[in-house]
Amino acid sequence: MGFGIKLKVWGDYACFTRPEMKVERVSYDVITPSAARGILEAIHWKPAIRWVVDRIHVLNPIIFENIRRNEVESKASPRKEAIYAAEERQQRASMVLRNVAYIIEAHFEMTDRQGAEDSPEKHYNIFLRRARQGQCFHRPYFGTREFPVSFELIEDSEALPESPLQGTTDLGYMLYDQDFRLNDKGEVQEITPYFFRAQMVDGRISIPGPLEVFR
């Protein structure tokens, strides 16, 4: 295992969309491992490292709220470089989470793309410095960009706050991550989703390793 970190993240709203919902967005009960990894990568990521989420602590009660949001019908692509929002705007209902807060426990591993100047200590210290100063490459978000994330580093000497969610809760099958396979032109050719059975015990979810998930 590589160097471990603990990061507290929170925000007013979140939407970790269930992939089986095709039209209206419906969020998972809690943040997914892939969304948590995306937050860490927004703070510090290089090809030399790969973030692995170990545990997620849910700090607030799970509250759903039904809202309506304006979305566009299509996505930008090399074939469609411009989107005219006024012509493609659609109003859709979304079941989102309100007043969310989590602690992400994670570590990073070195990849085969590391160079001579890369070392675990270097990237660990870079992440600590950036997290302490509130720096990020882009503002992390909870599922969609209109739900920004606030974050702060939890130092090793700090005790983790206790979750109000006690007991064991079966959260069902949850998205673990997605594998993107590219063609010779660098375009996404195939997307393979991976899932795991999420169990929350006293507000804590242990994330399995990549060999323990399924598609």
pLDDT in tens, 72-90: 555 555 555 665 555 556 7
Which of 6-15, 25-34, 83-92, 178-187 shows the lowest per-residue confidence on average (mean pLDDT)?
A: 83-92
The answer to the question of residue 8 being in a domain is yes
Number of domains, the chain: 1
pLDDT of residue 86: 54
The answer to the question of residue 125 being in a domain is yes
The answer to the question of residue 89 being in a domain is no
What does the pLDDT average to over 83-104?
Answer: 79
Is 50 exceeded by the pLDDT of residue 131?
yes
Tell me the pTM. 0.86
pLDDT in tens, 35-74: 999 999 999 999 999 999 999 999 999 999 999 876 655 5
The answer to the question of residue 184 being in a domain is yes
Domain that holds residue 26: 4-68+95-209
The answer to the question of residue 117 being in a domain is yes
pLDDT of residue 47: 92
The answer to the question of residue 81 being in a domain is no
The answer to the question of residue 99 being in a domain is yes
Is 90 exceeded by the pLDDT of residue 154?
yes
Can you give the chain as a three-state secondary structure string?
Answer: CCCEEEEEEEEEEECCECCCCCCCEEECCCCCHHHHHHHHHHHCCCCCEEEEEEEEEECCCCCEEEEEEEEECCCCECCECCCCHHHHEEEEEEEEEEEEEEEEEEEEEECCCCCCCCCHHHHHHHHHHHHHHCCCCCCCECCCCCCECEEEECCCCCCCCCCCCCCEEEEEEEEEEEEEEECCCCCEEEEEEEEEEEEEECCEEECCCHHHCEC
- CATH at residue 59: 3.30.70.2660
DSSP β-ladder status, 89-110 and 25-26: parallel
Q: Which residues pair with 196 in a beta bridge?
A: 174
Residues 94-110 as b/e (b if ≥16 CB within 10 A, e otherwise) read bbbbeebbbbbbbbbee
Residues 6+ apart with CB under 8 A from 127: 5, 40, 43, 44, 108
Q: Of 9, 14, 18, whose CA–CA distance to 195 is shortest?
A: 18
Assigned token pair, 37: 């990894």
The answer to the question of residue 53 being in a domain is yes
Is 60 exceeded by the pLDDT of residue 110?
yes
